[in-house]
Amino acid sequence: MRSCLFISVCLAVSAGLTIADEPRPIDTSRGDKMIAEYFRVETDRLRNACLAEIESAEDWQQNKQRYRSELLEMLGLDPLPEKTDLQAVVTGKVEHDEFSVENVQFQSRPGLYVTGNLYVPKKVDERLPAILYVCGHGAVKKDGISYGNKTHYHHHGAWFARNGYVCLTIDTLQMGEIEGVHHGTYNHNRWWWLNRGYTSAGVEAWNCVRALDYLETRPEVDASRFGVTGRSGGGAYSWWIAAIDERIKCAVPVAGITDLQNHVVDGCVEGHCDCMYMVNTYQWDYAKVAALVSPRPLLISNTDTDRIFPLDGVVRTFESVRRIYTLLGAADKVALNITAGGHKDTQELQVHAFRWFNQHLKKDDSLIEKTAVKFFEPEQLKVFKELPADEINTKIDETFVAQATCELPATDAAWAEQRDGWRATLQEKSFAGWPQKNQFGDSREVFNVVNDGVRFRAIDFTSQEAIELRLYIVERAELEKRDLVVLNVLDDKSWIEFLAATRVAFEKQLDGETLPDANKELFEQTKQMLNSFAWTMAYIAPRGIGPTAWDQSGKKQTQHQRRFYLLGQSLDGMRAWDVRRAAQTLRAAEGFADVPLWLQSQRQMAGVTLYASLFEPEITRLDLHDLPASHRDGPFFLNVTRFLDMPQAVAMAAERSRVALYSDTPDAWEYPMQVGKVLGWDAKQLQIRQPIAETLQGD
């Protein structure tokens, strides 16, 4: 159809009239200020909501199990994996006068190996309390060989054993003898982890669960007296296992938790890897994790000048959890230990932790006479001579959380049930960060000017608190009755193309933007289209693009995306909300209420637009160019591929709106085409077309 092609030529891919994709210095001061305020507002909202419904011990008892289930889900552990045979093997043993060390490996899942050292006192007259020691980020490598961070922290295990405990010190996924990955979003651009509902924190939590299972098999161990501790990353893992597994009877997380204020607003997220965070589907602040340890003995331990676990956030977290302990009549079971120093493994922290365990696992308040000393070389504590060929540690992110397998519906009723379930699940699990209501003021027209027969308007509107966006409208100057309006959702590239065409006639109205060279040919094509058809073109650049672009450095782009993630959102998910609000604003503008509305976008932003359309009424048509065939390539929404992938979303959209996909991979869209056959769609409801550039070459 000539008209549809013409829209796409002029407004989607510029008919092959390319703009150089070179880095452009832009003024990001407005965007930086906006996004900082947004993160502050959203952090305040989550902090105020955290545990607000708990006013009595009865409230806690009624909600505790739901909270634990939510945390398990956010760690990728719902449903809990099968507890398969550990296949535990002791590969070596090291002797000390007071204790022995067994070099141990077990499989927390088939092929998911955990390496560790088990410290056992020489004198065992009765079953002993056991400490699970989980390691922070202390890599030990020689000549390219990893000995595991268990060797860095081995003095802790030795100290516990010298003082009458069995201690199992286990390696982490990233810094174990088999080196997996913690830093998926931090520096590997594995944003698809968000889609999968995967976090390396979940693997660490599960390995801790299975470590307790292993300790239960040991004849030296009293399984009714398990404790857990660790510092930094190990502090975080102490929280995970203590919160989800009540076999832990006493916990001392060291430098492993603070609140969202520190992480998101104060920037501590920039110093932490993904293993520190659950997928925050239910929008928790971290006091709720801490509260799940109650009423079991809990010592929160930290230093006073720790730059990545600042004292103010640690104190706020402690005060929140102490309130829960007090409601439960267990105020004496929670304490805060602060010692001098930075982010460092100090003797002072160790002494307080040890006394806490003695008091609550041994009923012993005697002085600590033996100190933590390193006795061994890393080679003595190594488990594997050769790494196992069947290990899945290095690719566990691909399988740890089960992904959806979507069957074609056999009937209209089956499709309706599936579709409605997906839509409800998306709202709850992927887009919980969307505002519950539109409680914002009226939009405001910024300018309305005519030049060279073209009317150019701008409307500012509030997408959500702190997010102010601008909607641009272009149409023939004397247009009286519109046949349709096309809302173009712009990414970084198409924003530059929009500026290049628009500045030809409206440079003054674009004051403040960093403008590319004018593209007169593209402007003339647009003008010709507007003169030929009673169409209006509207443009929206969602947050972080164009007028609201923030710091363009790779580091800040990454860390801002991670901030969204910590808030139980994703940047793409909130951009979908921006598209919804732009559509609502456009419909509310004078003369647009009853005009058919089309949405159009490209690349990853086409996926954002697709999902926005699922939650807005009466979208007549979608034109989606180069839409990724899978969420693996974006857009990135929390948990989405646990339930569906892009072809299923296209099927949902095509039932509501006509959809034109411009794609060079038509086979990728077999699922929605088959759904169309089940539902009896006509041929125009879903069309797979060649990309515009290829179509033009063919002409």
pLDDT at 26: 81
Paired residues of 511 in beta bridges: none
Paired residues of 93 in beta bridges: 102
Tokens 């997906």 correspond to: 422
- Which residues make Cβ contacts (< 8 Å) with residue 535, sequence separation at least 6? 7, 475, 482, 483, 484, 485, 486, 529
Weakest-pLDDT range from 19-23, 306-310, 691-695: 19-23
Let me know: does 263 contact 272? Beta carbons within 8 Å. yes
Under the banding of pLDDT at 50, 70 and 90, the label for residue 693 is low
Which tokens is 145 given? 């060989």
Q: Which CATH class is domain 2-45+443-620+640-655?
A: alpha beta
Residue-wise pLDDT tens digits, 49-95: 999 999 999 999 999 999 999 999 999 999 999 999 999 999 999 99
Tokens 């989405």 correspond to: 640
Paired residues of 142 in beta bridges: 145
Which tokens is 677 given? 């056959």
**287 or 123, greater pLDDT:** 287
pLDDT at 24: 58
Weakest-pLDDT range from 363-377, 649-663, 666-680: 363-377
pLDDT at 16 over 60: no
Residue 467: phi and psi, rounded to 5, are -110, 105
Let me know: does 460 contact 469? Beta carbons within 8 Å. yes
Residue-wise pLDDT tens digits, 146-183: 999 999 999 999 999 999 999 999 999 999 999 999 99
pLDDT at 373: 82
Weakest-pLDDT range from 83-87, 370-374, 617-621: 370-374
pLDDT at 402: 95
Weakest-pLDDT range from 17-26, 60-69, 507-516: 17-26
pLDDT at 2: 31
- Which residues make Cβ contacts (< 8 Å) with residue 367, sequence separation at least 6? none
Let me know: does 252 contact 227? Beta carbons within 8 Å. yes
Tokens 């404790």 correspond to: 227
pTM for the predicted model, two decimal places? 0.95
Q: H/E element holding 210?
A: helix 200-216
CATH topology of domain 77-398: Rossmann fold (3.40.50)
Provide the CA 425 distance to its chain's centre, in angstroms: 17
Let me know: does 115 contact 150? Beta carbons within 8 Å. yes
Domain ranges of the chain: 2-45+443-620+640-655, 77-398
Under the banding of pLDDT at 50, 70 and 90, the label for residue 347 is confident
pLDDT at 245: 98
Which tokens is 151 given? 């060797």
The whole-angstrom separation of Cα 598 and Cα 616 is 12
**373 or 606, greater pLDDT:** 606
- Give the rounded percent of residues in the chain with a pLDDT score beyond 70: 95
pLDDT at 695: 41
Let me know: does 90 contact 217? Beta carbons within 8 Å. no
Paired residues of 181 in beta bridges: none
Identical topology for domains 2-45+443-620+640-655 and 77-398: yes
pLDDT at 655 over 90: yes
Q: Which of 68, 155, 80, 69 is nearest to 119 (CA)?
A: 155
Contacts made by residues 325-329, CB under 8 angstroms, sequence distance 24+:
325/294, 325/295, 325/298, 327/54, 327/55, 327/56, 327/57, 327/59, 327/60, 328/57, 328/60, 328/294, 328/295, 329/57, 329/295
Q: Which of 563, 314, 432, 364 is nearest to 49 (CA)?
A: 432
SS (H, E, C) 559-605: HHHHHHHHCCCCHHHHHHHHHHHHHHHHHHCCCCCCCCEEEEEEHHH
Strand pairing report for 128-134 and 221-231: parallel
pLDDT at 6: 40
Q: Which of 261, 262, 346, 260 is nearest to 308 (CA)?
A: 262
User: Residue 412: exposed, middle, or buried by beta-carbon count in 10 A (0-12, 13-18, 19+)?
Assistant: exposed
- Give the rounded percent of residues in the chain with a pLDDT score beyond 90: 91
Tokens 């193309």 correspond to: 497
Let me know: does 181 contact 394? Beta carbons within 8 Å. yes
The arithmetic mean of pLDDT across residues 275-294, rounded, is: 98
Residue 567: phi and psi, rounded to 5, are -85, 5
Residue-wise pLDDT tens digits, 231-265: 999 999 999 999 999 999 999 999 999 999 999 99
Return the CA Rg of the chain.
29
Amino acid identity of residue 122, one-letter, is K
Which tokens is 120 given? 């056992």
Residue 590 CA neighbour count, 13 Å, CB half: 5
Q: H/E element holding 242?
A: helix 233-244
Strand ranges of the sheet holding 128-134, from the earlier edge strand across to the other edge:
89-95, 99-109, 112-121, 166-170, 128-134, 221-231, 248-254, 298-303, 334-339
pLDDT at 371: 74
Average model confidence (pLDDT) across the chain: 94
pLDDT at 152: 95
